[in-house]
Structure 1
Amino acid sequence: MKTWALSYRLLLLFLLAIVLLGCEASTNSTDDSKVRLEVVVDGTRKTYTYDRIASVGQLLAAYEIEVSPLDKVNPPQFTQISDGMVITIVRVTEEEKCTDSTLAYEVKRFNTTNLEPGVVEVAEPGKNGIERICYRVVYEDGVEVSSTIRERIILEPAIDRIEYVGVEDNVDPVPIIGTLSYIASGQAYIMQTSSSSRRPLTTEGGLDGRVFDLSSDGRQLLFTRQTSDANDEPFANELWVILDTRSNPPTPIQTELRDVLTAAWRPGVPYTFAYSSATPANIFSGWSAYNDLHIIRLDGQTGNIINVDTIIESNLTGLFAAWGTRFAWAPDGQKMAYAKADGIGLVDFAAGVLLPPTISFPHFESSIASNWVWQPTISWSQDSEWIVTTVHGPPYAEESPTNSIIFDLAVWRVSDNFIIDRLLPEVGIWANPIYSPIAVDPEFGFKDFQIAYLQARDPYNSVSTEYDLVVADRDGSNPRIVFPGTSLRGIRPIDGEGEFVWSPDGEQIAIVYQNDLWLLNVRSGIAQRVTNEGPVRAPRWVG
């Protein structure tokens, strides 16, 4: 009996020892499963323990440690926590700071033959502007680490100082057929009979070149001028008219219209023009176009508006509508074509709409990235049957269609929509082809016309390359360089050169080259400089 009791006691002691060992093991196991780590944030360093498998983000949430979307957490919040880990949180904040600074004016000097040689006349004294630059400033734990420009706002535009410098009139006279007009140093000039007879049509300057159109008889001039109010936006302009360019002196008349984007006389209808408008805007172009179209009739004696016919109401239809729409009258005054960034079509006057484009092409994305929109020019043949233009061509290599570097010359017969979209391939973005007047071919005796255009010397880099003036037959055959020739510096459209116009008889071309106007005899190839008044633009020639 005593033996059994002893054995029973030993068994109880054995079981008790097992239970105690199990408890100790359990205790050790629990301690071993806890993770100890540190969190460094807001200038403090604290130790935390956690007894479950979790990510860094879950741990921070469990201990109510707030993390903003901008904060930097290292290691990242998706990382699984481990014993001994150090989690660092860098507080990131942003703010916008704006500072106003002086926007210095530029000094522009222009030559003129209206002053004695060497005499300098200040036409505009110049005024500094004010520019507001706003920055995005980033702080990490209260310390500034970066500052980047977010926006530039012109609070007050700088007004350039304009100086005219007298130079000798050393240009040899050249006979002029019809009436040739142009802008030089912000003034309008006209030539008739001879280049030596050139005379100014304006004296106050400020012509911005956005609108500059001579009526088909050469007697009326339509132009835009920058506003004189220094508080106006840079785009802001006024539409002016000269009702009789033969007057001496001529009388510029300001119309009621402002902020005009395009305007042109209607052929064959006296004192009547079409125009489209915009509003100054703080976007890359400086304006936001209305894409409207109105036909205006002026009083031939006073220049007052006596009739307004709205063809198209303001709208934002089409690609890059804020840039606007290019319009071009046909010589018969009954048709009008339009151009946008991705196509060319006709205006339906009866319905008051733009018809779907007849010629379509991808827009030029590279220009958008550089804050401008490419639109092709439009030239009608004298019989109002054909249109010649530049189109954005197919990709040259592996680039996307919108980034294609190819620009071709295309023609469109309007009566039956016959199109040749690559009449002359790879001419360049600034080809700006123009039909010549219809003339009698001296060799074969029949009536015909030609195409003049600018040919890129490097058609695969045509935005910035130099160009030559080329004349080809109407079907694109027999293209020949007529100016300036490969031995001379080429024409630089990117710098404002290359605007050209045919003479009324189709024998000459007036072209802007090296800041002056040159007259080129198409048959002989002889070119003569006919101006020295300073930077020339917008030549217009009518018979």
Structure 2
Amino acid sequence: MRLLGIFSFMKQFFVCLFMLILITMGCQRTPNRVTIQVDDEQVIISTNAITVREALNVAGITLNELDRVEPDLYAQLTPEMMIQVMRITETITTELIIIPFERRIIPNEALPEDEQQLVQIGSNGQEQITRKITYQDGQEIDRHQVSHEIVQKPVEEIIAIGRKAGLSDIPIDGIVAYISGGNAWLMSDHSSARRVVTTKGDLDGHAFSLSPNGERLLYSRNITDVITAPLNELWQVDTQIVGETAISTPLKGVLYAEWSPQISETVIAYSTAERSPGSPGWRAYNDLWLWDTKSNIETATEIVPANTTNLYAWWGTDYYWSPDGNSFAYSNASQVGIIDIVTKTIMPLMDFTPYETNSNWVWLPSIAWSPDSRFIATVIPSNPQQFDMWIIAVDGSMQINVIEQVGMWSNPIWHEDGIIFGQAVNPLRSVDSHYMLMMMDWDGSNLHRIFPIAEEIGLTFPDVAVARNESIIFVIADNLHLLDFNGLPPQALTIDGQSHQPQWVIPLTKTVNVSVTTVISD
């Protein structure tokens, strides 16, 4: 009986084992036959792989980073599936495109009627276009531009043609100096009495200053483009004598020069730089000097030594002489402040984050002095795209944000009755916005627009000169205009399309003797 039981158990065991083997064999996957299209070939495999990715691994097919696969790599295999591997490659190409120069014809009152003169030789520019090209299995399927960069800006050809101005003769108090076509021009008493002071067309605009009595004009000339030569030369001319020969001063490489605001016309302030290759073409020293032009240059007094302490120091520092002649306001890429002439001390008033131009130029705040020399008006960035107007006491006792979002080129001008400034039409994109001319009282009240009177396009940059309270001279489309505050449209003073940097002086009738010895002594 015992043997019979053992035999029965063994029989049942083997029957179960046999059934288990049959079940296991029945559950095994049938290999899938799939076709893989890759590299212009078809690869056929039979595999027990579950996903497309596994099938590619079985076939020994390596995928590159950009390759695409259809169906998706995680799709489950099915019998007779077709898998397509698309080889994707990308290339970056650059192309230089010629930018043709434009030709501009400008009227010139200094030339005989209809006579033409080449003012500037035109040259083509170059733009580098970078594109990304995508290929699928060797065939281009996409091409788009990644970036573009102006490698060389085109230089327009300028031809001057003699034209007599067809403008109304407008009375003008005092003397107006301005730059047109690289030359210095003067108007005196009325607009038709304008005359050219220089004829070489080489004023670079770094220095351009009319003395407080209107008798002397200071200007800088770019004599040569030789890289080893000084940046420019500083010249002066007597404005009272027609045809007077200009005088070259000993100063060379000047970024800023200005006559003393006092009636003593012989003292100037200046700052220097050296010529450098590439843009902008100079490297500033950020120094400040006073010099009596009737004395030897060796007698010049250093107020601020050469330095590179501020951010973007290579661009330079802007200086603004106070009306009382006792101090300077200054602005650099990250700060505005005051410099005392006697003690030579520098007092920062406000710091700010530099504006990132992402180019080869640097934005500096413009500054306007109050007539009593107690305050300055300036424009300060509160964030990368917002520029606000501030009034700051020079002793640091008061800082008021009077108007928000005026724009980076607001360029305030302070006169006896208030402040004139530009208001950006698009204040959060003020770098290339047009501007309206606005006026307000010293405390920011009585804000109103003075130009444009109607809904016109406005100004590209508020380039304004003020000599009296009732009117201003400013630039519209590269021509000077006189605007009286009587609600009437501005009157054109020039039509040459090249006028800028107006200086307007109404000489005082009373002569004041000012000693400058204590100002420029160590």
TM-score, structure 2 length as denominator?
0.74
1:142 counterpart = 2:134: no
User: Following superposition of structure 1 onto structure 2, how do residues 173-188 of structure 1 map, counting pairs within 5 Å?
Assistant: 173-188=169-184
CA distance in 2, matches of 1:125, 1:461: 33
1:475 counterpart = 2:443: yes
Instruction: List alignment gaps of at least 5 residues for structure 2.
Output: 508-522
1:416 counterpart = 2:412: no
Which residue number in structure 1 is paired with residue 464 of structure 2? 500
Superposed displacement of residue 148, structure 1: 2.0
Superposed displacement of residue 412, structure 1: 0.8
Contact 1:116–1:166 (Cα < 8 Å) also in 2: yes
Which residue number in structure 2 is paired with residue 26 of structure 1? 24
Superposed displacement of residue 466, structure 1: 5.6
From 102, 108, 111, the counterpart of 2:104: 108
CA distance in 2, matches of 1:312, 1:143: 61
Which residue number in structure 2 is paired with residue 396 of structure 1? none
Which residue number in structure 2 is paired with residue 444 of structure 1? none
1:334 counterpart = 2:327: yes
For 1:110-166, what per-residue CA distance to the aligned partner results, in whole angstroms no more than 9, with x for missing partners? 1111234444333234233454444333323222221425343536x5332111122
Contact 2:237–2:247 (Cα < 8 Å) also in 1: no
Superposed displacement of residue 475, structure 1: 2.3
For 1:69-89, what per-residue CA distance to the aligned partner results, in whole angstroms no more than 9, with x for missing partners? 333345565x36544565543
From 500, 507, 513, the counterpart of 1:537: 500
Query: What is the SS of the residue equivalent to 2:232?
Result: strand
Contact 2:453–2:487 (Cα < 8 Å) also in 1: no
Instruction: List alignment gaps of at least 5 residues for structure 1.
Output: 394-400, 439-448
Contact 1:202–1:252 (Cα < 8 Å) also in 2: no
Inter-CA distance 50–23: structure 2 relative to 1 (3 Å threshold): same
1:313 counterpart = 2:331: no
Query: What is the SS of the residue equivalent to 1:66?
Result: coil
For 1:501-525, what per-residue CA distance to the aligned partner results, in whole angstroms no more than 9, with x for missing partners? 111x545421112432122344796
Superposed displacement of residue 476, structure 1: 2.8
User: Following superposition of structure 1 onto structure 2, how do residues 55-134 of structure 1 map, counting pairs within 5 Å?
Assistant: 56=53, 65-74=61-70, 79=74, 81-83=76-78, 87-134=83-130
Identity %: 24
Superposed displacement of residue 274, structure 1: 1.6
CA distance in 2, matches of 1:384, 1:343: 19
Which residue number in structure 2 is paired with residue 489 of structure 1? 456
User: Following superposition of structure 1 onto structure 2, how do residues 69-468 of structure 1 map, counting pairs within 5 Å?
Assistant: 69-74=65-70, 79=74, 81-83=76-78, 87-144=83-140, 145-152=142-149, 154=151, 157-207=153-203, 209=205, 211-216=207-212, 218=214, 219-223=216-220, 225=222, 238-246=231-239, 248-251=243-246, 262-265=255-258, 267=260, 270-275=267-272, 287=280, 292-295=285-288, 300=293, 311-314=305-308, 317=311, 326-331=318-323, 332=325, 334-340=327-333, 344-346=336-338, 358=350, 360=352, 375-392=364-381, 402-403=384-385, 408-422=388-402, 424=403, 427=406, 430-436=409-415, 438=416, 449-455=417-423, 467-468=435-436
Superposed displacement of residue 489, structure 1: 3.2
* Residue correspondences, number: 492
Q: Superposition RMSD on alpha carbons, in Å?
A: 4.7
Q: Which amino acid aligns with 1:475?
A: D
Q: Which amino acid aligns with 2:322?
A: A
Q: Which amino acid aligns with 2:413?
A: I
Query: What is the SS of the residue equivalent to 2:24?
Result: helix
